[in-house]
A = this chain, B = another copy of it.
């Protein structure tokens, strides 16, 4: 279930920071790692969890793999959250 994986992926601050970074532009794992005080394997682990949750997409461009945000699941989450507005008092 993607909503499940997505909420789990988003419960980690580093993974939210990665998404906020990718909001600016697509980046390679190396570029992302440079922005954090973390090893590249740690960043790769977080990127994999984001990928499993369909929150990011990786795409080869020439010799590099670029990560970008997949807005589809984020929109699914928003739709789910939106259902709670109806019953607002």
Contact = CB atoms under 8 A, between A and B. Distances in A.
A65 interface: no
For this chain, the copies found in one complex come to 2
A contact face: mostly helix, strand, loop, or mixed: helix
Bin the interface of chain A by size.
20 to 34
25 contacts: A1-B13, A3-B16, A4-B13, A7-B7, A7-B8, A7-B10, A7-B11, A8-B11, A11-B11, A16-B80, A20-B83, A23-B84, A23-B86, A24-B87, A69-B84, A69-B87, A71-B88, A74-B81, A74-B84, A74-B85, A75-B85, A77-B77, A78-B81, A78-B82, A81-B81
The 7 lowest CB-CB distance pairs between A and B, nearest first, are A7-B11, A8-B11, A7-B10, A23-B87, A78-B81, A74-B84, A74-B81
